[in-house]
Amino acid sequence: MPESARQAIASELVSLASADGDLHADEVRKLEAIFKRMGIDQKSLYERLHAGTSTTRAAGAMGQAPTWVAPWNVRHAV
């Protein structure tokens, strides 16, 4: 699979995982596993997660509540 296709899929997966506004630890673990299988560095995953929070913060400035995502502070599923 071409690199550009893997990168596009990776971006979509991150968007899907954070679409509900909550990013759970099990979602991050699954993304880590998928990124590893696709040969994409985990650093890229966390960069994408943080880039997504920038978009959400901008939306928060327009009246929506912001969502803060940090790999060390994800909500743990109960």
Round to whole Å and give the CA distance between 4 and 50.
Answer: 20
Round to whole Å and give the CA distance between 27 and 33.
Answer: 10
* Residue-number span of the structural domain to which 9 is assigned: 3-61
Here the tokens at position 18 are 């954070």
pLDDT computed for residue 54 by the predictor: 52
Q: Which pTM does this prediction carry?
A: 0.64
Residue 75 DSSP SS3: strand
- Residue 42 belongs to a domain: yes
Report the domain count for the chain.
1
- Residue 70 belongs to a domain: no
pLDDT in tens, 55-67: 544 444 444 554 5
pLDDT in tens, 27-48: 999 999 999 999 999 999 999 9
- Residue 66 belongs to a domain: no
- Residue 32 belongs to a domain: yes
pLDDT band at 20 (very low <50, low <70, confident <90, very high): confident
- Residue 11 belongs to a domain: yes
* Phi, psi (deg, nearest 5) at residue 10: -60, -45
User: What's the mean per-residue pLDDT of the chain?
Assistant: 77
Largest CA distance in the chain: 40
- Residue 39 belongs to a domain: yes
Round to whole Å and give the CA distance between 63 and 66.
Answer: 9
- Residue 77 belongs to a domain: no
